[in-house]
Amino acid sequence: MGLLEISNLCARVKEGKDILKGVDLVIEEGEVHAIMGKNGSGKSTLCQVLAGREVYEVTQGQVIFNGKDLLKMSPEERAREGMFLGFQYPVEIPGVSTSYFLKAAVNETRKHHGLKELSAVEFLKLIHEKMAMFGMDKSFMNRAINEGFSGGEKKRNEVFQMAVINPLLGLLDETDSGLDIDALKTVAAGVNKIHRSDSKKAILLVTHYQRLLNYIVPDKVHVMIDGRIIKSGGKELALVLEERGYDWVENEVAAK
């Protein structure tokens, strides 16, 4: 059974123009997928629609996540059911510490699954373990969410949060942009570790660059153009795209 099954998904900005024009995609348990494509092709919109962003409306299609109808769930239910969106532009929230926020996030998900909430001590233990994984400084937990973080720190924070929340499916929207090569390696190692911690866990990467895929090796690569996935292949497809560009795919599809 597919962990995520998207069929003919169409969506638009509320009362605005169509962006997704019939996306079909199946991610099996344990797989890593990458979606590549030009700016404006709909990659980020797909992530946002899956996470339940209200500025978009789904006009057609179906999404089944872990056997349940995803589109009927509120954004928080999707999160608690195991979907995680790593934002392309993480939001800064001055005044709220990361530790407070993450504890609330973890415990809401636990309550949803009928588990006991973590105590402060248990939570700290979890946090310290994950912080070590990403080589983060202890002061980080008392800092306000993303406040004054560099672009790279914000992205690392996204993946760190994913490690703490421990979702079934991680949607990582351009998590590699803004990272230098060392940070990229750390982040990729973290993603791989989360992915391998459970045979069910899957990852969907949205990226412009093949570089990330050297460190997080995908099972499948998809090319998205104008709101549709028009070509899919193995990890070697990313190398071809790197060499020949997206126009090549468009021309090839047009020729058919």
Partner 1 sequence: MTGLKTKSLRNNEMMNDAFNFKILAEMNFAPAERAEQAAARELAETYSFGKQAAAEMVFVNGHFEAELSTLDSLPGMGGVRVMSLEEAIAKDDVLIRKHLGKYARIAEHPFAAINTGGGGGVVVHVGRGAACKRPIHLMFLTVAPHSPSEAVAASFPRVLVVAEENSECSVVETYAGSGEDAGGEYLTNAITEMVLGPSARMDHNKLQQEGMGAYHVAVQQVNLEAKSLFVSHSTSLGSKLARNDLQVFLGGEEAEATLNGLVIAKDEQHIDNHTLLHHEKGHCTSHELYKHVLDGKATAVFKGKIFVQKDAQKTDSKQTSKSLLLTDTACMNAQPSLEIYADDVKCTHGSTTGPVDENAVFYLVSRGLSLAQARHLMTYAFAADITRRIRVAPVRTRIEDFMAAQHGLPQDLRITDEARHDVALL
Residues engaged in binding partner 1 (CB under 8 A): 51-54, 74-76, 78-80, 84-85, 87, 90-91, 93-97, 100-102, 104-106, 108-109, 112, 142-144, 161, 165
Of the candidates 76, 151, 84, 144, the residue with the CA atom closest to the CA atom of residue 108: 76
Residue with Cβ nearer partner 1 (76 or 122): 76
Nearer to partner 1, 169 or 225 (CB): 169
Instruction: Tell me whether residue 109 or residue 207 sits nearer to partner 1 (CB atom).
Output: 109
Residue among 173 and 176 whose Cβ is closer to partner 1: 173
Closest CA to 161 of 150, 172, 177: 172
Which residue lies nearer to partner 1 by CB, 112 or 208?
112
CB closer to partner 1, 155 vs 231: 155
- In whole angstroms, how close is the CB of 234 to partner 1 at the nearest point? 31
> Smallest gap, in angstroms, from Cβ of residue 79 to partner 1?
4
Radius of gyration of the chain from Cα atoms? 18
Q: How near is the Cβ of 14 to partner 1 at its closest, in Å?
A: 13
Spell out the residues 6+ positions from residue 8 whose beta carbon is closer than 8 angstroms to its own. 22, 23, 24, 60, 61, 62
CB 255, min distance to partner 1, A: 40
